[in-house]
Amino acid sequence: MKSKYNSVVKVRKQQLDKAESNLNQAKQRQLEYEKAYELSRQECESLGVLPKSGSIAELRSNLSMAQVGREALARAKEKVELSKKEMNHYQFLYQKAHLDYEKMKALETEEIKQKQKELAKAEEKFLDEIAISRFFKGEKDD
């Protein structure tokens, strides 16, 4: 049964699907960033071991590599933190879209129930009129 809310419900459903898609993409990015962070952490730990012997040039090289590793680790950690905030944002948008969709769906259902009641009432009235007309028609024939 058609309702004035049909088009609104369709739009809300599209918004809900888009929000769900964005949320899934954000989850995927967060997983990637967490893997990259873990790899950076392991790499940084392996670079943090200083050699026991060797030249000053090797020591400086190792120290600069360790510094680069720490910077990469900091960038990876920053990406993880940003992705968590992004996830929270998309989670909120998804919940809002879901709530809006459910509201419109409930309004549509309520309107359909109201129309069904009106149709049932009209049908009942029509049947009563037919019964009354047949009753009076039956009296005229007698």
Domain assignment present for 97: yes
Query: In the chain, which stretches have pLDDT less than 70?
Result: 140-142
pLDDT by residue (tens digit) across 9-29? 999 999 999 999 999 999 999
| Of residues 113, 85, 126, 77, the one with CA closest to residue 5 | 113
Q: With pLDDT > 70 as the criterion, what percentage of the chain qualifies?
A: 98
pLDDT given at position 88: 96
> How many domains does the chain contain in total?
1
pLDDT given at position 123: 96
pLDDT given at position 43: 87
Type of residue numbered 19: A
Domain of residue 25: give its range: 6-104
Domain assignment present for 130: no
Query: In angstroms, rounded to a whole number, what is the distance separating the alpha carbons of residues 16 and 20?
Result: 6
Domain assignment present for 128: no
pLDDT given at position 57: 84
Domain assignment present for 86: yes
Domain assignment present for 80: yes
Q: Where would I find the H helices in the chain?
A: 6-47, 56-141
| Of residues 75, 80, 76, 68, the one with CA closest to residue 44 | 68
Domain assignment present for 78: yes
Domain assignment present for 39: yes
